[in-house]
Structure 1
Amino acid sequence: MPRYEFRCRACGDTFEVNRSMAAAGEPASCPQGHADTVKLLSAVAVTGRSGAPAPAGGGCCGGACGC
């Protein structure tokens, strides 16, 4: 289930909420009881299960065309 990060405008605390993607836009109350919160934009890091490093190279074709 996705995890969303929120910040409370009243006390400044940040907190996370696990909820379905369908409920992503719903408001979340601060753990301190405040209702004035905002959902933060988070960067997502995606890694493979094997822990192996990503292949070197780059560009649109993996570096084979020299782009």
Structure 2
Amino acid sequence: MNKQKIAETLVKLRGNRSREEVANAVGISVSALQMYENAKRIPKDEIKLRIARYYGVPVESIFFKQ
């Protein structure tokens, strides 16, 4: 898993939405989302699923593409 690529994908998917809006919808803190988007952390599997569901994309397209 490449943290930098994951971070770039998450930022792209978020688009014009605020971090607060996405974090609230996914059920995580804004600081957690910020860490994922800044390549500081990779979310746990449960959070990966919730993020992918929120954006309507397969988990693999965010977290497992090369």
Higher helix share: 2
Greater gyration radius: 1
TM-score, with structure 2 as normaliser: 0.24
Task: Flag the structure with more relative contact order, 1 or 2, with Cα contacts below 8 A and sequence separation at least 6.
Answer: 2
TM-score, with structure 1 as normaliser: 0.24
Higher strand share: 1
